[in-house]
Chain A
């Protein structure tokens, strides 16, 4: 062997010297050929055609060694120092100086052959570094790099080099000539080099080395290598023997890990998942009666997959890979069963023995990440319940149920935290709620009793969610409460909310996909800010019914079935025997009547009854006086009267009778305090609640000062509850908007003599075309008096006025004549600004006082949010009026107080953002400009505060909407300041 090595080294040195001295490309080809022919089974004739005669002979006359000799040479060449030395020459000297002149066949047979047919481990280690060569010294950098790329693409992609790598590395560990550490080192280096190729390759090169394509290709090869390894595996024991480290597996795992690290986990998974799913499907379909676990364990071709995750040493990669895997499984709509087995195949061996992985599933995937709800179901199934979804029930009480209880407890504790409700993003809240709900569904009453905190945490969580302004959050609470109540007493489920009346709960809360989900949640909360009508909002949640049909699992379906059967036969149905009797009795009576009618003489035939139909429309007492309305509203025991009073209240108020201002206070108070049902009677367009609010809005609009006086007193009065306060703020908001849009008819003066508008279609000097309908077009009167005529005269035909008798007289209008027919009107007049102070100032005064029943900064934060929102709307309504500038300062003062702008509840912060943006809209630019120039400290300080605060929110707020709005606001401020 020693002499072979020396010979090879000599030969290589000779070849290198020949290449260095070569004057022509053919000489280089010849030199390389002389070496190549000793290493590889070359067909010399293939390249002979492309070189000159004299070299051709040399090439053809080269001595071809025997097979045995060639193999020896090959091994020594690649294992020793010969290949790296030659490769350097090939990659740098030849590539930059000669390769361009090589004929194609020569390049293939005497150049590429050294790499393609070489020992891949060495080839990769040699070639990849040359990718980063940056053209120093005598070589052409571009040529070197592009050649290296070409060689790599050729080796690794076209000739399945990676597969070969896997084979080589697997083989080398069996040959036992190198230590394990060394092997590990080599493996990780090779894997690192291979996966770094796309990054090192230049972007402009062929797409074969672009990361997506490249990783896809090598993944295919790696998987093929792994399966090959799997096929060759002789004994099952070897798989589960932890001590045997296999090179192939290590290499594949290492490569996968690095691919993931480089951000191509999805490319990887796209190749891997179909393979696993195919395995799963084949097992599931083939043997239905065998125990499935065993079927999986005995099936060939799966052993690699059992080891797969273990082979990936990097915990971060495992996590990303698992997450991506779940996402992709969800995207492919695999069934619950398939997903379970996919997870089982990949993770069961490491899940059982390695705690970090277990905590990855139980902690990270349940509490920190947000995955689609179906993934959540799989995770719970695999990691917590630990039995396939088609199993009839929990197979063993014990370890598994212990795990379930621990998880449920953990989830419940997190779920119940007030901070979680306040600051976690909506998606995550939904996710954790769903996780908790799904685990609760699997629990029994005994389980619940055996855990200490679950019940308490759930009750806490439900109660603190029910107070939330967001409908979605309330629905989470009611869903959990429903599940919980089903555990406690399955016969008597607790429905806190009308919307979840179905048997199955939609744990996605109407959010089908995560993208759509974000959209809807933001819409929801927008609605909350803008349109929440007291606490009785019910968003149109029709989707719940649709979503419920999507089916959650077999268990749910069966449960549904049993429930519906239960409904069909209702043992509690009461059949009143009295009704039956009544029917009988009345029937008899009718018979009697008929009989008597028959016996009656004809004398009564004159008594034909009239139409006996009767309706009670006329009976409803119509209120025509506001005083009556007030009286009726005070009689709370007469629900009917209250309702009728509400019916007419708005109309009466709108009519604005003289006595209105005297009864306004009373009326406002009674309207706010009256209790009316929110239920809409069928066929009626609006509920009593809406009528009440409309009446109040009308009151504010028709007599603002009096009603606002009362309302502001009521707002902070201890006798009201939160819903009434919210209603007050709602109606004030509505009224402000209505006042701002109010339309006033006003005679319009036309400044036509002074200003001509460009938008007129006719020339400015023509008289305006307005006038009575039917007027003819203007015609110029030709003035013949003087040639220098400074003014134009026009005439047109006018239709006779209705009262006018035609006397054959033409009326002539000069261009100067004022338009006396003042029937043009001007619309739109903002009436709000004059009342703005009355709206805003009193309500801003008491927000931070804590009194009996009033605690805006703490418990009643919803009221605070609505208040700020109302103030924002007021600002907007007064926009561009001087009042806005005057009121902006106190409002900004209020907003910038710490307890408001850093309020714990996102709802309040959202309102503050809204109000701040309203201020920006409302301030007249000239006012801002002048105050900035004059250095008016207040306004510029306020604006600066808005800017910094918006910046702060955009950077650090936890609520998604807050920070998006915040960034918008910041943009606006900057823009406004400019």
Chain B
């Protein structure tokens, strides 16, 4: 079989005047949020492929590190994180942002670590929404049968507990956000509804030796918060550090991390946990991508697949909600697509003319957006999920 040439982007969104640092799809609508290094947040219509709104949400000097949406924080909400030490919580009203953020958190942290909204196993999150999502979720579980034993266990638990968790989603429960803290070696969990710092990891006053050791890992470069079904609603945080270690915390025991592993030799720049919260992918400044699985029962994190690259630097990684493919945004201007199950490479997407910053999948899995320092955002359609009937 002759190889197909890698696809081109289906659309390119131009308009930003600075490096596009983050992209994020609206959980349900055809809306894309993008944040740029000059502080501009744009909202795009992904059907019409044009900007619907543009606003300067952070100062141009500092810029936006991260924009995030999640069904967890509400349907019409978006969070922006700037390098000015604030996290802003916006309402989306009639196609644009509210004039002033509904909430501004002064985190006083000045770093490059993107915040992370707690990720729940998506199958339950989506319950009650458009029916095909549910179907998708069901199918996903059936696919997951082929996963390793732990994964199946996780899925099993997930379906059982989904009904209880569902309430949390829609009811204004605690909306937790994990952020690298004021001290960069710490991870802080903030409650968005109250704008309060809930906990710091490692916790203050805990064993000083541990504290020392976390400091020795250097700055926290990437965090991912998730709510695995095994943890009974307690938040888990996976944090990647400057020296390449990743530490897994469970808030049930915030003093001691669940495990600490070192897969990378350089700072971990991106972390993404898959929809079932049973594994993830990490990219770092070194020349490899690691796919790992999280074994909740044993509290261990093991390498599933290590992919070595020709050129170092993965600034962003993302796993499609259906868990089939994963994408990485490389410093080498390339977006790489992998089969998440098997870890083999599927495509090398060459479009951007500068470093890629982020990749992000839409919740329905149809679209992928990649953002780059060349001020463009590219939209891709890859391996469309077959589930839609």
Give me the interface of A with B, judged by CB distance under 8 Å.
593, 596-597, 599-601, 603-604, 606-614, 616, 618-619
Contact = CB atoms under 8 A, between A and B. Distances in A.
A600 B344 CA distance: 14
A606 B332 contact: no
Given A610-B6, A612-B348, A600 B353 contact: no
A600 B324 CA distance: 13
B383 interface: yes
Contact of B6 (A600, A611, A616): A611
B198 interface: no
A609 B344 contact: yes
B310 interface: yes
Contact of A618 (B324, B342, B353): B353
Nearest to A621: B354
B217 interface: no
A610 B381 CA distance: 13
B344 A593 contact: yes
7 contacts: A604-B324, A607-B346, A607-B383, A609-B344, A609-B347, A610-B5, A614-B334
B339 A604 contact: yes
Given A593-B342, A610-B5, A610-B347, A616 B311 contact: yes
A618 B1 CA distance: 27
A610 B3 contact: yes
B351 to A, nearest CB: 10
A594 to B, nearest CB: 10
Contact of A610 (B4, B146, B310, B333): B4
Interface in B363-389: 383, 386
Contact of A600 (B325, B332, B341): B341
Interface residues of B, number: 28
Contact of B333 (A593, A596, A608, A619): A619
Interface in B28-56: none
Contacts of B332: 616, 619
B19 to A, nearest CB: 15
Contact of A597 (B1, B310, B342): B342
Contacts of A597: 342
Nearest to B340: A607
A172 B341 CA distance: 119
Given A601-B146, A618-B333, A607 B310 contact: no
Contacts of A611: 3-6
B345 A600 contact: no
Contacts of A614: 310, 334, 348, 350
Given A604-B342, A607-B324, 13 more contacts: A596-B342, A601-B143, A603-B143, A604-B341, A608-B1, A608-B346, A609-B344, A610-B4, A610-B5, A610-B347, A611-B5, A618-B353, A619-B311
B15 interface: no
Q: 6 tightest A-B contacts by CB?
A: A611-B3, A610-B347, A610-B6, A609-B346, A614-B348, A607-B339
A612 B143 CA distance: 27
Contacts of A600: 146, 341-342
A899 B389 CA distance: 96
B299 interface: no
A600 B4 CA distance: 23
B7 interface: yes
A609 B342 CA distance: 12
Nearest to B4: A610
Contacts of A613: 3
Contacts of A618: 333, 350, 353
A619 B333 CA distance: 7
A612 B345 contact: yes
A606 B320 CA distance: 15
A867 to B, nearest CB: 47
Q: Which of A593, A597, A609 has the most CB of B within 10 A?
A: A609
Contacts of A603: 143
A603 B347 CA distance: 18
A521 B318 CA distance: 69
A588 to B, nearest CB: 13
Contacts of A608: 1, 4, 346
A604 B353 CA distance: 31
A383 to B, nearest CB: 66
A846 B383 CA distance: 73
A526 B248 CA distance: 74
